[in-house]
C-alpha cells in the first residue's frame, strides 16, 4: 500500500467557534421553551467571549507591541483596534454600547454572588397551582438574561466584527474572516520512512 506523508496547518482563531456556539444557543432559545433561560445565558456569555477572542485575533494581525496590548481589558483592546483602524469609538452608540454592556455582564456572571430572592403576592388558587413549581427569579435572570438581550448581543457583536473586518486591509484578513487550514500530501518511499516522517511532525 502506498504511504503518504500528510501535513496540515491551521491558524486557529477561537472567536469563530465561540460565535458558532452563541448562534446555536440563540437559535434554540428562539425556537424552544425548554431550557430557554440556559440557552439565552449561553448565548450572552459566549458573545462576551467572542469579543475578547476576536480582540486577540485582530491584535495579533494589527498590533505591534503585543506584550502591552495583551495586558489590556477586552474593551481597551477593542478601543485600541478601533483607533488603529480609523473607527470612531463612541460607547453611547451601537455596536460599542453593547460591547461595553457585555463586558459588564461578563463581570456579573463571573463574579456572581448568592442572593436571597423573595416574592410576596396575592393570587388565585388556580394560578398558584399552575405556577407553584416556578422558582423566584434572581436579579441576573430577571433583569439581564432575556431573549431580547440575547438577540441584541448577537446582532451587535456581529456588527462590531463586521465593522472591524471592513476596515482591516485584506492582506491581513488571515484568521479574521474564517478559521481555515491547508493540507498537503506526498508519497514516501517505504513504511519505515513513513513512520519516521510521522514522528517528526509537530
Please report the pLDDT score of residue 134 as a whole number.
Answer: 72
How much is the mean pLDDT over the chain? 88
Of 78-82, 130-134, 174-178, minimum mean pLDDT range: 130-134
Cα→Cα distances 173→54, 60, 95, 181, Å: 12, 11, 21, 14
Please report the pLDDT score of residue 46 as a whole number.
Answer: 97
Q: What is the pLDDT of residues 159-171, one digit of tens each?
A: 999 999 999 988 8
199 or 104, higher pLDDT: 104
- DSSP lists the bridge partners of residue 9 as 182
Half-sphere exposure of 85 (CA within 13 A, CB side): 27
Q: Give me the phi and psi of 31, to 5 degrees please.
A: -100, -20
Looking at the predicted structure, is the pLDDT value of residue 154 above 90?
yes
Listed by start position, the domains of the chain span 14-111
Which residue from 93, 102, 101, 72 is spatially nearest to 84, judged by alpha carbons? 72
Q: How confident is the model at residue 78 (pLDDT cuts 50, 70, 90)?
A: very high
Amino acid at each position: 500500500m502506498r504511504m503518504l506523508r500528510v501535513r496540515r496547518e491551521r491558524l486557529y482563531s477561537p472567536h469563530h467557534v465561540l460565535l458558532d456556539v452563541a448562534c446555536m444557543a440563540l437559535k434554540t432559545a428562539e425556537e424552544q421553551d425548554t431550557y430557554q433561560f440556559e440557552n439565552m445565558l449561553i448565548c450572552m456569555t459566549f458573545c462576551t467571549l467572542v469579543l475578547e477572542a476576536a480582540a486577540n485575533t485582530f491584535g495579533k494581525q494589527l498590533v505591534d507591541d503585543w506584550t502591552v496590548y495583551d495586558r489590556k481589558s477586552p474593551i481597551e483592546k477593542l478601543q485600541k483596534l478601533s483607533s488603529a483602524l480609523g473607527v470612531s469609538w463612541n460607547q453611547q452608540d451601537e455596536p460599542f454600547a453593547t460591547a461595553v454592556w457585555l463586558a459588564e455582564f461578563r463581570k456579573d456572571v463571573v463574579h456572581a454572588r448568592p442572593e436571597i430572592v423573595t416574592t410576596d403576592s396575592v393570587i388565585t388558587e388556580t394560578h398558584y397551582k399552575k405556577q407553584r413549581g416556578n422558582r423566584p427569579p434572581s436579579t441576573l435572570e430577571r433583569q439581564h438574561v432575556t431573549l431580547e438581550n440575547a438577540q441584541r448581543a448577537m446582532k451587535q457583536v456581529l456588527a462590531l466584527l463586521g465593522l472591524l473586518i471592513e476596515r482591516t486591509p485584506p492582506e491581513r484578513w488571515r484568521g479574521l474572516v474564517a478559521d481555515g487550514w491547508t493540507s498537503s500530501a506526498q508519497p514516501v518511499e517505504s513504511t519505515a520512512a513513513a513512520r519516521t516522517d510521522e514522528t517528526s511532525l509537530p
